[in-house]
Structure 1
């Protein structure tokens, strides 16, 4: 069963229309945000990398790699980036695309974000599916917690 080609690419305007059709179930929106809302958010660093998970040129997932103030809540490493707003379009969930996309992350960071040596993220303790996914794709739980607006989060680290 060939899944097609999965790649990570930086967001560009040519994907705007496809992303506007992106759909997430309500219960997932508690833990993430819609891609275009994040991309057009004025309150995030200009250095943020907006990354699409594409399968056969079709955007199926999205996440941001942020630096700046927000990162410092999770890590003191100036060379790290904070992964936020990870999501897979609801119609494409359950097909292993999140796992494939995250496995491509270290190479993507090395190619596109020179000098970055780590990706960190906070994942809500209630979001057990996401915790399992991140641990399976190389993130490590070093026992740190961050108490965010939606409750306690595990802080996970991925060396790149």
Structure 2
């Protein structure tokens, strides 16, 4: 019963600056920051793709997670599918980890992409080979490892694919 209540209270929304106060209190431990970025740092990065869409995972209307969906040059490092989007900077605030929110957010992703990105047929991501918890989470939520790798700035990454 708990998971039904949890799931119904979790939604994905496109970022707006009305969430900045909550996001300014977002917390990630150092060992996770080697694999991702703080949401506001990522949202306000000057060289981000203009077409990047910033997405929040809300629980009961409060941001608990964040990721970006990108296309363009960055996507092409991971996939030659121009109808794909690259999922980057996925995280859940450390105070909300272990509650299934990341899993719920990723389970909502295909429907969110269908509704907000017409013509997109795949989500691609790179996950650091050392980030086993994230790798396992992505596999549990439908991403597929096709044994492709990308040499990222922090070491080799598995390239994972999710058909939408």
TM bucket normalised to smaller: over 0.9
Report the counterpart of residue 145 of structure 2 in structure 1: 141
Once residues 147 and 83 of structure 1 are traced to their aligned partners in structure 2, the CA distance between those partners, rounded to angstroms, is 16
Pick one of 39, 45, 62 that aligns with 1:41: 45
- TM-score scaled by structure 2? 0.96
Pick one of 11, 23, 28 that aligns with 2:27: 23
Report how far residue 42 of structure 1 moved.
1.4
> Which structure shows the higher helix fraction?
2
- What are the ranges of 5 or more consecutive residues in structure 2 without an aligned counterpart? none
Report how far residue 99 of structure 1 moved.
0.1
Pick one of 80, 84, 92 that aligns with 1:80: 84
Report the counterpart of residue 117 of structure 1 in structure 2: 121
* Structure 1 residue ranges, 4+ long, deviating more than 3 angstroms after superposition: none
- TM-score scaled by structure 1? 0.98
Aligned residues: 160
Once residues 138 and 124 of structure 2 are traced to their aligned partners in structure 1, the CA distance between those partners, rounded to angstroms, is 11
Once residues 153 and 29 of structure 2 are traced to their aligned partners in structure 1, the CA distance between those partners, rounded to angstroms, is 20
Pick one of 90, 93, 104 that aligns with 1:89: 93
CA displacement 1:60-108 (0-9 Å, x = unmatched): 0000001111111000000011000000001000000000000000000
Report how far residue 43 of structure 1 moved.
1.1
Once residues 116 and 41 of structure 1 are traced to their aligned partners in structure 2, the CA distance between those partners, rounded to angstroms, is 24
Report how far residue 129 of structure 1 moved.
0.1
Pick one of 88, 102, 109 that aligns with 1:98: 102
Report the counterpart of residue 158 of structure 1 in structure 2: 162
Report how far residue 45 of structure 1 moved.
1.1
